[in-house]
C-alpha cells in the first residue's frame, strides 16, 4: 500500500539543517521519506527534499526550512572542498540545480538559493506553508521543533521533543549522511551570523541581488555596498510601468494559460519578440516572459492544473528576472533565451533604463 503523504519539508539545496530536522522527526516516530514510493501501510508520512515541483500538491502542509544564505552556502562549499575552486569562483559559477527540478534555474549559488526560497514564500499565498529559520531552531530548538510537529499534524509531548533533540545532537540514530565532515555541517544547529568571520568584502558583494532581497524579507542583517533591499520594495511597480503592448501580451499569456494552451503562449511570445521595434528593453521583456513561462511549465505542467500556483510562480519569476536583470549573474542566466528569441540587449542598456548601478564582477 502506498504511503499517504500529508506533509512535506522543503529547503534550498544548501546546508540549511534539513537532515538534522529530519533526524529529529524520525526520533519522534514520524515516518519520513525523500521520495514517493510504496513502503507498507503508513497512516501518513512526510516528504523531505529540495523540490519546487511539490508545489503541485497544495493539499499537503509544507514546511520551508531556511538559513542565512551566507552561512548555508559557505557551509556547503566547505563540505565540498574537493571542488578545488576559490570561494569567489564558486559564488559566481552558474549551474543547473537539478536537485530542485531537472535543468531548471541555471543560476549562481546565491541566486539559486534566493529563487528557491522566494518561490516557496510566494506559494504561501496559495497553499499552507510554514517558514522556519534554522537560526530560530538554534535559539529555541524545543519550541521551533514543536511548532513544526504540530503544523504537520502530529501530537508529541514537550518531553518527547526534548529527548529527540538531545539524542540527535549527541549521536544521530538515523544518520542520513554518515561522513563526519558532512555531519558537522548538516546536522548540528549552529550559531547565526558566522558569515561575519568567514566572508570577505568581495564575497559579500557577490551575494547581492536576489539573495539580499530574500534576506531583507526574512529579517536577516544585510551587509553590502550594493544594497538592493530598499529598491526591491518597489518591485511591484515594474509591471505597472510597462508599455501598453507589453501589458497586452501579459494579459494574453494569462488568458491562454487559463484556457490550457501552453504552445499558443510560446508562439505569442515568440511573435511579440519578432515585431517589437521600439526599444531593446521591450524585447528583453518578451524574453523575461518566455523564461518565466518555461520555468513554470517545468515545475508545474499546465496539463496537471494548479492555476493559482502557476500564476503566482509566473508573476514571481517575471518580477525577479526583470528587476535583477541588471545583475551580471541574472543577465548571464538569460542569455540562452535571448538567443532563442534573437533579442539583442546589452547589460548597459538595462542599467541605463533601470537607473540602477551594476553589481561587482569577480
Residue 289 has pLDDT above 80, yes or no: yes
pLDDT, one tens digit per residue, over 134-176 is 989 888 999 999 999 999 999 999 999 999 988 876 544 444 4
Residue 63 has pLDDT above 60, yes or no: yes
Helices 307-323, 280-299: crossing angle, 10 deg rounding = 140
Say what the pLDDT of residue 240 is. Answer: 56
Query: Locate cell 530548538: which residue?
Result: 141
Say what the pLDDT of residue 190 is. Answer: 53
> CA-to-CA distance for 294 and 281, rounded, in angstroms?
20
Predicted confidence band of residue 238 (pLDDT cuts 50, 70, 90): low
C-alpha cell, 292: 518565466
Q: Determine the Cα angle at 324 with ends 322 and 326, to 5°.
A: 100
Q: Which domains does the chain have, with CATH numbers?
A: 5-232 (3.40.50.300), 236-354 (no CATH)
Q: What is the mean pLDDT of residues 264-277?
A: 76
Q: What is the mean pLDDT of residues 261-274?
A: 81
Predicted confidence band of residue 116 (pLDDT cuts 50, 70, 90): very high
C-alpha cell, 361: 564582477
Predicted confidence band of residue 117 (pLDDT cuts 50, 70, 90): very high
Say what the pLDDT of residue 28 is. Answer: 93
Say what the pLDDT of residue 175 is. Answer: 45
Measured CA to CA in angstroms, residue 67 lies from 86, 127, 160, 199 at distances of 22, 22, 25, 16
Other Cβ atoms within 10 Å of 154 Cβ, number: 16
Residue 125 has pLDDT above 90, yes or no: yes
> CA-to-CA distance for 362 and 358, rounded, in angstroms?
12
Contact 134, 16 (CB under 8 A): yes
> CA-to-CA distance for 216 and 208, rounded, in angstroms?
11
Is the four-CA dihedral 182, 183, 187, 192 of positive or negative sign?
negative
pLDDT, one tens digit per residue, over 338-357 is 888 888 888 777 777 665 54
Amino acid at each position: 500500500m502506498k504511503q499517504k503523504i500529508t506533509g512535506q519539508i522543503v529547503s534550498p539545496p544548501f546546508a540549511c539543517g534539513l537532515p538534522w530536522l529530519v533526524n529529529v522527526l524520525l526520533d519522534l516516530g514520524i515516518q519520513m521519506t525523500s521520495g514517493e514510493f510504496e513502503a507498507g501501510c503508513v497512516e501518513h508520512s512526510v516528504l523531505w527534499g529540495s523540490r519546487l515541483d511539490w508545489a503541485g500538491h497544495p493539499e499537503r502542509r509544507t514546511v520551508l526550512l531556511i538559513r542565512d544564505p551566507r552561512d548555508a552556502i559557505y557551509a556547503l562549499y566547505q563540505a565540498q572542498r574537493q571542488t578545488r575552486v576559490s570561494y569567489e569562483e564558486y559564488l559566481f559559477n552558474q549551474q543547473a540545480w537539478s536537485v530542485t527540478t531537472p535543468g531548471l534555474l541555471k543560476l549562481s549559488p546565491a541566486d539559486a538559493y534566493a529563487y528557491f526560497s522566494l518561490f516557496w514564500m510566494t506559494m504561501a499565498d496559495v497553499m499552507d506553508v510554514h517558514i522556519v529559520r534554522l537560526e530560530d531552531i538554534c535559539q529555541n530548538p524545543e519550541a521551533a521543533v514543536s511548532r513544526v510537529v504540530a503544523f504537520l499534524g502530529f501530537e508529541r509531548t514537550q518531553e518527547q521533543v526534548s529527548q529527540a533533540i538531545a539524542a540527535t545532537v549527541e549521536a544521530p540514530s538515523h544518520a542520513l549522511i554518515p561522513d563526519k565532515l558532512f555531519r558537522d555541517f548538516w546536522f548540528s544547529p549552529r550559531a547565526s551570523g558566522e558569515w561575519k568571520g568567514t566572508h570577505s568584502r568581495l564575497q559579500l558583494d557577490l551575494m547581492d541581488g536576489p539573495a539580499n532581497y530574500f534576506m531583507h524579507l526574512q529579517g536577516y542583517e544585510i551587509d553590502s555596498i550594493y544594497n538592493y533591499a530598499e529598491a526591491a520594495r518597489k518591485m511591484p511597480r515594474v509591471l505597472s510601468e510597462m508599455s501598453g503592448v507589453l501589458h497586452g501580451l501579459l494579459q494574453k499569456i494569462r488568458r491562454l494559460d487559463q484556457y490550457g494552451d501552453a504552445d499558443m503562449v510560446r508562439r505569442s511570445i515568440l511573435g511579440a519578440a519578432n515585431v517589437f521595434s521600439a526599444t531593446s528593453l521591450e524585447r528583453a521583456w518578451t524574453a523575461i516572459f518566455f523564461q518565466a513561462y518555461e520555468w513554470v511549465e517545468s515545475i508545474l505542467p499546465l496539463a496537471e492544473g494548479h492555476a493559482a500556483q502557476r500564476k503566482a510562480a509566473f508573476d514571481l519569476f517575471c518580477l525577479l528576472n526583470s528587476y535583477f536583470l541588471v545583475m551580471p549573474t541574472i543577465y548571464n542566466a538569460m542569455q540562452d533565451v535571448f538567443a532563442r528569441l534573437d533579442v539583442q540587449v546589452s547589460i548597459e542598456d538595462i542599467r541605463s533604463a533601470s537607473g540602477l548601478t551594476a553589481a561587482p564582477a569577480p
